[in-house]
Structure 1
Amino acid sequence: MAASTHTVTNQPPPLVGYDVFTADRALAEAVDRHVAAEAGDAAREELSGLGRAAGSAEAQEWGAQADGNPPRLRTHDRYGHRIDEVDFHPAWHRLLDRAVSAGLVDAWGRPGGHVRRAAGFLVWTQVEAGHGCPVSMTHASVPALRTDPVLAAEWEPRLTSTVYEEGLRPASQKRGVLFGMGMTEKQGGSDVRTNTTRAEPLAQDGEYLLTGHKWFCSAPMSDGFLVSAQAAPATREGGLTCFLVPRVLEDGSRNVFRIQRLKDKLGNRSNASAEVEFEGTWARRVGEEGRGVRTITGMVAATRLDCVLGSAALMRQAVAQAIHHTAYRSAFGGLLIDKPLMRNVLADLALESEAATTLGMRLAAAYDADTEQERAFLRLAVPAAKFWVAKRCTPVVAEASECLGGNGYVEESGMPRLLRESPLNSIWEGSGNVQALDVLRALQREPSALNAFLQEVGRARGADHRLDGAIKGLLTELADLDGIEARARRLVERMALVLQGSLLVRWAPPEVSDAFCASRLGGDGGSVFGTLPHTLDLTSIVERARAVV
């Protein structure tokens, strides 16, 4: 029956058919800034192609389908044989195929590789965040495997391939593979040193059989996994060690990898997170025995950077949707975007989004530089950024959803999916307390890290009196580390804000840096979004963040 009681008016068109990369000025400028001129044109072209794909109706439909059709576990086949397989919606495989073909699993071998990969990850994650888990794990596994040159030579070409092949087969028969991770156990959570999974050595050096469990195992249909276990004390050093567990053995038989159940999660619905059991599971040692924490350090840092980028992506998409909606929606006699109070809210959200993007891309550039100074800088900056940016994600997405009114609470808007996803990165790869304590550990044990951090923020000294005051206050707080644990969160928050302020003062337009320093460093902002000083150039800030179709 045709509706005759009303016509549909005053509804914004969908934000579709645009280039997610070039529409994000802060991101595009970061790529121009951090990628050398000779590689810049290729990087922009490559990222713009991915951005157009991300902004297409087709990709947006893939994201909705993957999230709306969660993976399904099949422990046995029809005859009762144990198979431990997880079925995914076809959209999941399409998303992964595009991510892998875009090089989002590899940043380790090309000029500006980390910046280009970080920008691509930020762009493509806006389509759907769940499939970013195996993408991130695969990318981050490379530094861990490089502790063993033989393993690296065998696996790295497969891990960095731009070919995605689904299905369980021996890794040697696939042109590209994905990796997952299994570190967390029931009794320990982030405290991996309490792991009880045992590793018994075999006659062949470097080969073991594992027995135990993992409470969270990421992406259980991956081709291989980095797993932590306690090597038997009778063998050399013993203790917590990192192992590579292939899903399928070279003879084509399935390794013992019993998926007990899939987690029923708040968000990240498209991705499978599993509880798994090992019983005589074949594995190869990665790195030295008893040095498992040291072996996975590089992997942890890389995945923490992806937590920053993933949170920045969620914020960016939420802010883009909010600005787009208010640019078309009229209320109380005019467009919402032109209302002073709404403009204040949007500008405040845009500041948070740009600060997160600018910081994430600066960290990626430090990976590309790979100097002693930059490595020291990353030691403090990565956990501080992961703590703060991931923490800010949920309030940003929630406020952006409110800009859409009741429409933002409806699943079809896409905002509830962003909101459900928003807390994840604050938990994944170490909760907020873990990050804060890691910052304290670096401050106490690695003086070079603090020196590199202070040199970085000091590059903007003298450019803004509020930033100068914040740096001075931070130095005062850093001068007294006695009893610092109870106030660690406040310290890390200050460090992240000072770093973001320094980067924006150096690189963002004056209206952006002025508003950030006033509200985040100068005390001229409130505890909720939309409390920026009305004298600031809020219109320019909002227009800069607008995604133009």
Structure 2
Amino acid sequence: MRSIEAQSELGTHRVENQPSERDDADLMNDDPAIQESLAELDDETRRRLGNYGRAIGSRDMRWSAREANRHGPELFLFDRAGRRLDEVRFHPAYHRFMTMSRSAGYSSIAWEGTPRGHSAHALMVYMASQVEPGHCCPLTMTYAAIPALAKSDDSKILAWRDKLLRPSYDPSVAPLASKTGATMGMALTEKQGGSDVRANTTWAQRDGHGWRLTGHKWFCSAPMSDGFLTLAQTESGLTCFLVPRWLEGERNGIRLLRLKDKLGNRSNASAEIEYQQALAWQVGDVGQGVQAVIEMIHHTRLDTAIAPVGLMRAALAEAHHWVSHRSAFQRRLIDQPLMRNVLCDLALDLEGSLALGMRIARAFDGTSAEERAFARIGVALAKYLSNKLCPIVIGEAMEILGGMGYVEDTPLPMLYREAPLNGIWEGSGNVICLDALRTLEKLPLAKEMIEMEFEAAAGQDAMFRRALQDYWRDWPSVPEAGQARAFVEKTALLLSAAALIQSAPEGITEEYVRTRLSEPRGRMPGAVRLADSAKILTRLARP
């Protein structure tokens, strides 16, 4: 908090009608939309989340986020004598975020035996994404790698799982045994296959208890992670491996070729790498690589469904602050009917995406076959919908700020660059939609769980019930592939509405159901008829 305000009298003019920067934010307690989810958590978990939300929401951390994105990671291939380093070095602000989020339990809280641990994790993703989303990548993969290693009884794999579970960030260049905690990345994609990992050509050969990998990976996420889950071919087929970044007394055969020059996610490094006889440990059965890594992908998809909701929340918080403190034509912007309509429409997209994302997180917390099936189909639906909405919502929020929204002095450019990422990562739109169709066809329990969610909501809301009748008329069965997007969008909207009916206060659900499911609307945000904007804007406001 500054003790002396910036000078407004500048000689040639006085600075007026320019909203000041937002002050410290309590990202948990100042957000009415997440209070329903918090009610299900125990006191200790709420305390941990509250501390994290206050710490990461401070103005100081928002400035650190800007620094971490302005001064991105640098690749150092060699030392000054020409010896290989293959290292990426980060700005101290990036390490600050990694330390804060790791110690708060971002990557471990779901596996500590904490009640509703995945819900708590999802709320951390939601809050972290509002401030500095780049550092979430390695922590999300660390969170998701833990269950992928859970079935192994190999002592080496168990040692890795133990270090992944520790809430300690240790960026040192050192082997696992010397680390206070470890992070895990992924290196799956190759040039010729992309999402079709069965086309991978990286080759693995046995070397005693371990394996030696040789090949090229087109995308390696977070290349300074302590280890990577990767896929390589063996004589028995595609197999999953854990590749340590550092060995005892030497560097593993992992060569960094270049860092990807990405649109966004600038604080975090992504690389193109080669394995040159890199030592690796087998994860799962030989020839069952996809099955071994699918558990990790399933959990990373939860984060890719939640993270865009955090991005939307951050953008709309900035927009709401702007219109509350700026006037045009003798009226505050927030009092202008059209501005209220646009902002409320965007806020409803946020509300629906958050309600659905947290319902899916609760399914991840479940242990029954029914909840596991619902998590399997629900995470695909939530990921698709929230990521398709995210760039639209952030683009409109940027426009609300006008020229200032296009300037790096505000977080809107960073948020806008980040907006497409989670829709691409862990399955782009078409991949996700086709996966949803396959799940419904091969896992009847998933379809039954969706129907149960629908019927529970229909029993409480007449408008929803009529919309559901239209849905069953249009989609009496799982459609053919060409209709996958239309089907997944409508199913996800209905599930979002059902989640709101179960959790949101009166007024939010009615507007969502009416404007998304019952009445015709234009293609652009704000092209709807809203009956009660005050209640929606109150939910969006922060002190």
Q: TM-score range by the shorter chain?
A: over 0.9
1:388 CA drift (Å)? 1.1
Counterpart of 1:356 in structure 2 is 353
Aligned to 2:180: 175
129, 139, 148: which is aligned to 2:152?
148
User: Alignment partner for residue 430 of structure 2, among 412, 429, 433?
Assistant: 433
Q: Contact between 1:519 and 1:525, CA under 8 Å: does it hold in 2?
A: yes
Contact 1:457 1:503 (8 Å CA) reproduced:
no
State how 1:114-513 maps to structure 2 within 5 Å.
Answer: 114-150=118-154, 151-204=156-209, 207-231=210-234, 233=235, 238-249=236-247, 251-481=248-478, 484-513=480-509
Contact in 1 for aligned 2:129/2:308 (Cα 8 Å): no
| Preserved CA contact (<8 Å) 2:22 2:59 | no
Q: Which runs of 5+ in 1 are unaligned?
A: none
Tell me how far 1:201 sits from its aligned partner.
1.4
Measured against aligned partners, the alpha-carbon deviations of 1:450-476 in whole angstroms (never above 9, x if no partner) come to: 111211222111322332233223333
Looking at structure 1, the residues matched to 468 and 534 of structure 2 have their Cα atoms a distance apart, in angstroms, of 29
Q: Where does residue 3 of structure 2 map in the other structure?
A: none
How far apart in 1 are the matches of 2:367 and 2:14?
A: 59
Which of the numbers 507, 522, 542 marks the counterpart of 2:518? 522
Alpha-carbon deviations, 1:254-303, whole Å to 9, x = none?
A: 00010000000000011100000011111001001111111111111111
> SS at 1:325's partner residue?
helix
1:81 aligns with 2:83: yes
- Distance, in Å, in 2 between the alignment partners of 1:485 and 1:299 is 26
Question: Which runs of no fewer than 5 residues in structure 2 stay unpaired?
Answer: 1-6
Q: Which runs of structure 1 show a deviation greater than 4 angstroms over 4 or more consecutive aligned residues?
A: none
In structure 1, the residue corresponding to 2:246 is in which secondary structure?
Answer: coil
- Structure 1 residues 281 and 530, CA, compared in 2 at 3 Å: closer, same or farther? same
Q: What is the CA–CA distance in structure 1 between the aligned matches of 2:402 and 2:449, rounded to whole Å? A: 44
Shift of 1:152: 4.7
Aligned partner of 1:114: which letter? H
Partner of 1:142: helix, strand, or coil?
A: helix
CA distance in 2, matches of 1:245, 1:406: 47
TM superposition shift of 1:48: 1.6
After superposition, the CA RMSD in angstroms is 1.4
> Quick check: 268-277 or 353-362, which moved more?
353-362
Match of 2:117 in 1: 113
Matched, 1:5 2:32: no
Count of aligned pairs? 533
CA shift for structure 1 position 203: 2.8
TM-score by length of 2: 0.96
Q: State whether residues 179 and 223 of structure 1, in contact with CA within 8 Å, keep that contact through their aligned partners in structure 2.
A: yes
Residue 477 of structure 1, CA deviation: 4.1
Deviations along 1:371-403, one digit per CA (max 9) or x if unpaired, are 111001111111111111111100000011111
Higher mean Cα deviation, 46-55 or 489-498? Answer: 46-55
Q: Using the alignment, how far apart are the partners of 1:112 and 1:5 within structure 2? A: 58
Q: Which residue of 2 aligns with 1:63?
A: 65
- How far apart in 2 are the matches of 1:396 and 1:513? 19
Cα distance, 1:61 vs structure 2: 1.1
1:31 aligns with 2:41: no
What SS class does the counterpart of residue 295 from structure 1 fall into?
A: helix
Deviates more, 1:464-473 or 1:286-295: 464-473
- Matched residue SS, 2:285: coil
So what's the TM-score if we normalise by structure 1? 0.95
Tell me the amino acid that sits aligned with residue 211 of structure 1: T
Q: Distance in 2 between matches of 1:316 and 1:309?
A: 11
Equivalent-residue separation in structure 1 for 2:173 and 2:79 (angstroms): 15
C-alpha distance in 1 between matches for 2:463 and 2:81: 70
Cα shift at 1:527: 1.1
